[in-house]
A = this chain, B = another copy of it.
Amino acid sequence: MDTVVTDPAGWDVLNARCPTRQVLDRVSGKWTMLVVTALTADPVLRFSELRRRVDGVTQKMLTQTLRELERDGMVERTAYPTVPVTVEYKLTPLGHDLAETVHVVRQWAYANIEAIQEARARYGAAAPDRPGPPGSRLSA
């Protein structure tokens, strides 16, 4: 059944050495998805604006996320020689393509939040039957 999860070119995210694993690591990151979401709503944003839009992100994490997205060709960074320097970020065509995928994930979250909240309530209610600490009954 490997054809379900690999592709005709032989890529396989389940293999830690496959380059696509790195791509999954990157694009599946929460902050990547949120930065791409912010740049979907507002096509051009400065660092300080992005930091306000992506509620909860630290300066360090936003810096790192933007650096990685720029390196991977998904975000374009433009610096203007003002004092202090003005830096703007926007999605590249590849970034817009990723944005469509992020849109699918975001819509899934919006569509299923209530089902997940119900599942959590059921899980909590059934707590006495749940397994103990990690490892105690999970191995097989």
Contacts and interface: CB of A to CB of B under 8 A. Distances in A.
Interface of A: 1-2, 4-5, 7, 9, 11, 13-17, 19-21, 23-25, 27-30, 33-34, 37-38, 40-42, 46-49, 53-56, 59-60, 63-64, 66-67, 70-74, 79, 84-88, 94, 97-98, 101, 104-110, 112-113, 115-120, 122-123, 134-135, 137-140
Contact of A112 (B63, B84, B94): B94
A15 B17 CA distance: 35
Given A135-B59, A138-B63, A108 B101 contact: yes
A140 B85 contact: yes
Nearest to A109: B23
